[in-house]
Amino acid sequence: MFKKYFLTLFFFVFSVTGINAQNLSAKEIIKKVILNKNKNYIKQSLKSFEYKSYSKLIFAADVHRFSGKLDTIYKNGSIKIDSGRYFFKKELEKQYFYISEKISKHQFQNNKEKETVLLAKMGGFKEPVYEFLALGIQNISFYDDKFSLLGTDYVSPLAKNAFKNYAFTLTKTHFNSKIYIVKYRSVNRKKSVGLQGVLYIYKNTFALTKGIAEIKGKIDVKAIQHYKYLKKEHIWFPQSNTIILRKGSSKKSIKAFRKLIGYHSDLQFKTGTNPEDISFISIESKNFDIKINPKLPYFKDKYSVTISKKAIDRNAQNWQDYGVIPSEKEINTYRFLDSLVKKHKVEKKIRNLRTLATGHFPAKYLDIDLSNVINFNNHEGFRLGFGGTTNENISKYFNLTGYLAYGNKDKVLKYKYGANILLSKLRNSWVGASYSQDIFEAAKTNFLFEEPHFSLINPRNINISQFYSYKITEAHIYHDLSPKFSSKLQFDYGTYQTEFDYTFISRTRLLNQYHLSNLTFAFKWSPRSKFMKTPKGKFTVKKAFPEINTQITKSFNTILNGDFDFTQISSKINYQLKTIKSGSTQLLMQIGYIYGEAPLSHLYNHTPNHSLADPWRRRINLSGTNAFETMLFNEFLSDKFISFQARQNFEKFRIGKKFKPKLSFITRFAFGDIKNPTNHQGVVFKRMNKGYFESGIVLNQLFKGFGLATFYRYGAYQFPKFQDNLAVKITFVLPVF
């Protein structure tokens, strides 16, 4: 009997303080979880895996928060029904505000992931909004250093630097429990963004079995991830994810996914809570058909997400094959949204927004190019124009493009016309040709892959005085060699004429008008970006860096009466590093090299944006895009150069309730040279072989998107007078609504 009680006491003490590590502190437990990531994190411990997931988003309201008592009010000695509240409650019982569903197959192999959307439907839309489907709702993981939630990155409580950002507390559990329960909270709200929650950890292997993360702020967010133990593989695999968004301290209603989903009501109840106060967004995903270390086919294409035309078919039987049977409330919601979206032409509005994002205004048959409407420069004065590209209402397989423009100062009509034919939607392949007569800034590199942007007035053009005119015929082929590698091959030939005093002089030639026959190969490579393949074509899932934009131009003097034989190589590399809630660092490097003799029009001017106009206040102008703000127009020319820019952007800082400017520090430098400067007569310029340097401070969004910037020029090309080295600029950032 004594032996029996002794053994019982021994095992009790052993279970509390012994080898099972029951006496570990919260910090020691988290250290062991981090140390065992390579065994417990499926992306590190498994060579490959595959699973399917069913995701559902609903936008609804808490019906139970409308009590019977609140449905009536007492006024002037009589009881009356609050009709708005009553009918609103009845509607909530029948349907949701919004619903969306998706079934996907996820595959992981050799650190590469792929999602194939098997079925998808969004309330009200015959064809889903693909940008929404690509948001990766279920891709949250506590094991990663960054905890990504609804497109925002946070420091994970299991990151390498977790102890700098979080405090951990071990919750007491029953001595026989196999699970540690560790609570965590932010210790530095600014750095760790205020995450708090609970981690459930398996004692034997220090694997995560459940994780909860909460954010308390203007919007309250709660994320829960459950894991399932697979006995055969001895691993905890993610089983389900739940994300719930509710209105927090904000006076505005909740919105999510870049404001695609939101709710606002003009309905104000006479008493109690209003509709916006009790609305919420719930996103749930459940994983099934889990396969560990399967033999997967090689991911031939590099699309992160693929969705076929078959996947958006609303055939109910397809969903039932996966065990998804809609409730009456869900059926009512889809029926209501289908009529609502059709009535308000929401699908058309979304198409219009996509078009506007490219700098075009959508008309019935023509997408009007807004950049051609109005502009101003020294040579043309006010430039008025009209042009665009035909859209899918004309044809999905070809388009016509062109524009007309006229300057009130030079009184010359400029124009372009052309056509493009679609060869392959899958590879985004087009072939086309055009003819154009226009002007362009001398010595500015014209990258064929420029980021689409819209500006009514290009601020740099106001002070540019050196333009060249051209008459060019060109043919091109555009093709995606892979989703991350876009290419364009272009051949053009034509006549060029500088619109300023300039003559090219060499031992054999004296030219102020010349012919060029150019073959250009350009490509844009985004190795870390993620893309989605859809029936509509390619969509960007996640823009990541670096981005490499390079082109090689060969000019021939043996084809179509070309006057020059040179090779030009130009490249720019963009890189951006985001730090969690402390801003971002942007880096830009540009390189240019010309082998052979080239006219001034095809040299490098380094994008200057300053003048020494008097009085000094006339020097204040608009800031350019990645321009040297203290460099004078026409000051330097090069046939080889390298430049570098670093920009540190900080988060908004609050000065008043609505006054939240953004601070940035910028520094730039460039080195350049030119082999035969005497070939270019009629213009005065400098070599830049000693290095050009400038640095500045930018304060954006001081008022309605406008801000101020100041830059200072220093180094070998510094001016004797302080005020000549100083540049003050007005900045403008389009507000994001």
CB within 8 A of 517, min separation 6: which ones?
Answer: 491, 492, 493, 555, 556, 557, 559, 560, 561, 562
How does pLDDT run across 674-724, given as a tens digit for each residue? 999 999 999 999 999 999 999 999 998 888 778 899 999 999 999 999 999
Q: Is residue 369 part of a domain?
A: no
The pLDDT of residue 55: 92
Q: Identify the three-state secondary structure at position 22.
A: coil
335 close to 316: Cβ distance less than 8 angstroms: no
How does pLDDT run across 371-399, given as a tens digit for each residue? 888 888 888 988 999 999 999 999 999 99
pLDDT at 77 over 60: no
Q: Is residue 372 part of a domain?
A: no
What is the mean predicted confidence (pLDDT) over 54-81? 60
The pLDDT of residue 509: 80
Q: Is residue 391 part of a domain?
A: no
How does pLDDT run across 707-717, given as a tens digit for each residue? 899 999 999 99
Q: Do 477 and 332 fall within a single domain? A: no
* High-pLDDT (> 90) share of the chain, %: 52
Question: In this predicted model, which residue has the larger pLDDT, 172 or 38?
Answer: 38
C-alpha distance from residue 114 to each of 107, 118, 163 (Å): 5, 13, 33
37 φ, ψ (degrees, to nearest 5): -55, -40
Q: Do 324 and 435 fall within a single domain? A: no
Q: For the chain, what is the largest distance between any 2 Cα atoms, rounded to a whole number of angstroms?
A: 116
CB within 8 A of 730, min separation 6: which ones?
Answer: 620, 621, 622, 623, 706, 707, 708, 709
The pLDDT of residue 274: 60
Q: How confident is the model at residue 7 (pLDDT cuts 50, 70, 90)?
A: very low
Q: How confident is the model at residue 81 (pLDDT cuts 50, 70, 90)?
A: very low
107 φ, ψ (degrees, to nearest 5): -130, 140
Domain edge (last residue) among 297, 326, 344: 344
74 close to 308: Cβ distance less than 8 angstroms: no
The pLDDT of residue 479: 95
223 close to 234: Cβ distance less than 8 angstroms: no
Q: Do 335 and 465 fall within a single domain? A: no
The pLDDT of residue 76: 45
Q: How confident is the model at residue 656 (pLDDT cuts 50, 70, 90)?
A: low
Q: What is the pTM of this model?
A: 0.83
The pLDDT of residue 580: 65
Q: Do 442 and 318 fall within a single domain? A: no
How does the average pLDDT of the chain come out, rounded?
84
pLDDT at 192 over 90: no
Q: Is residue 724 part of a domain?
A: yes
Q: Do 506 and 598 fall within a single domain? A: yes
Range of the domain at 516: 425-732
Q: Is residue 726 part of a domain?
A: yes
Strands 621-622 and 726-732: parallel
What is the mean predicted confidence (pLDDT) over 74-98? 59
Nearest residue to 140 (alpha-carbon basis) of 76, 227, 68:
227
Task: For residue 439, list its beta bridge partners.
Answer: 469
The pLDDT of residue 94: 83
Domain edge (last residue) among 290, 313, 344: 344
382 close to 410: Cβ distance less than 8 angstroms: no
Report the domain count for the chain: 2
The pLDDT of residue 128: 82
Query: CA-CA distance, 710 to 664, in Å (whole number)?
Result: 11
Tokens 């009130």 — which residue?
Answer: 408
Q: Is residue 11 part of a domain?
A: no
- DSSP state at residue 580: T
Question: In this predicted model, which residue has the larger pLDDT, 623 or 264?
Answer: 623
Cis peptide before 677 (omega within 30 of 0): no
Cis peptide before 661 (omega within 30 of 0): no
Q: How confident is the model at residue 154 (pLDDT cuts 50, 70, 90)?
A: confident
pLDDT at 266 over 90: no
The pLDDT of residue 276: 63
pLDDT at 623 over 80: yes
Question: In this predicted model, which residue has the larger pLDDT, 61 or 192?
Answer: 61
Q: What's the CATH number where 613 sits?
A: 2.40.160
The pLDDT of residue 488: 97
Q: Do 336 and 474 fall within a single domain? A: no
Q: Is residue 94 part of a domain?
A: yes
- DSSP state at residue 581: T
How does pLDDT run across 401-455, given as a tens digit for each residue? 999 999 999 999 999 999 999 999 888 899 999 999 999 999 998 899 875 544 5
Question: In this predicted model, which residue has the larger pLDDT, 573 or 134?
Answer: 573
From first CA to last CA, the distance across the chain in angstroms is 77
Q: Do 549 and 661 fall within a single domain? A: yes
Query: CA-CA distance, 546 to 540, in Å (whole number)?
Result: 15
664 close to 602: Cβ distance less than 8 angstroms: no
How does pLDDT run across 664-676, given as a tens digit for each residue? 999 999 999 999 9
Q: Is residue 415 part of a domain?
A: no
Query: CA-CA distance, 262 to 39, in Å (whole number)?
Result: 41
pLDDT at 16 over 60: no
695 close to 727: Cβ distance less than 8 angstroms: no
Q: Do 174 and 290 fall within a single domain? A: yes
Domain edge (last residue) among 344, 364, 392: 344
Q: Do 237 and 131 fall within a single domain? A: yes
